[in-house]
Amino acid sequence: TQLLEQSPQFLSIQEGENLTVYCNSSSVFSSLQWYRQEPGEGPVLLVTVVTGGEVKKLKRLTFQFGDARKDSSLHITAAQPGDTGLYLCAGQRRPPPGTYKYIFGTGTRLKVLA
């Protein structure tokens, strides 16, 4: 059972366009992270959000944690070819009742065309 569903699964856009990726769950998470992964490499952390309603910005990327800490979104402004990759969300449900394991989402594969 996949606790974190991401949408869309695939996204192909032109350079300069804006996009939003969603990460949804029916479970509450203590924290949620976003990663980007390129072929042949491990995921690289972009951001961690821990407070319901929290918004974080990283250059052209804006991350939001839902008020109920069950969902999150990643918005990219003016996408560039260098943004191409697999975007992953991951949630941690700390004890109690969880453990410190991370549950990853299903992934969104983004391709930005020049």
Partner 1 sequence: GAGVSQTPSNKVTEKGKYVELRCDPISGHTALYWYRQSLGQGPEFLIYFQGTGAADDSGLPNDRFFAVRPEGSVSTLKIQRTERGDSAVYLCASSLGTLGEQFFGPGTRLTVL
Minimum Å distance from CB 61 to partner 1? 17
Give me the count of residues in the chain. Answer: 114
Of 13-21, 57-65, 74-82, 103-111: span binding partner 1 (CB under 8 A): 103-111
CA angle 27, 28, 30 (to 5 degrees): 140
The answer to whether 84 and 14 have CB atoms below 8 angstroms apart is: no
Residues 53-92, mask of contacts with partner 1 (x by CB under 8 A): ---------------------------------x-x-x--
**Binding residue for partner 1, selected from 7, 16, 17, 45, defined by CB under 8 A:** 45
Strand partners, 48: 33
CA angle 73, 46, 78 (to 5 degrees): 65
If the CB atoms of residues 48 and 62 are measured against partner 1, the closer one turns out to be: 48
Local structure of 83: helix, strand or coil = helix
Residue numbers of the site for partner 1 (CB under 8 A)? 4, 6, 31, 33, 40-45, 48, 86, 88, 90, 94, 99-107, 109
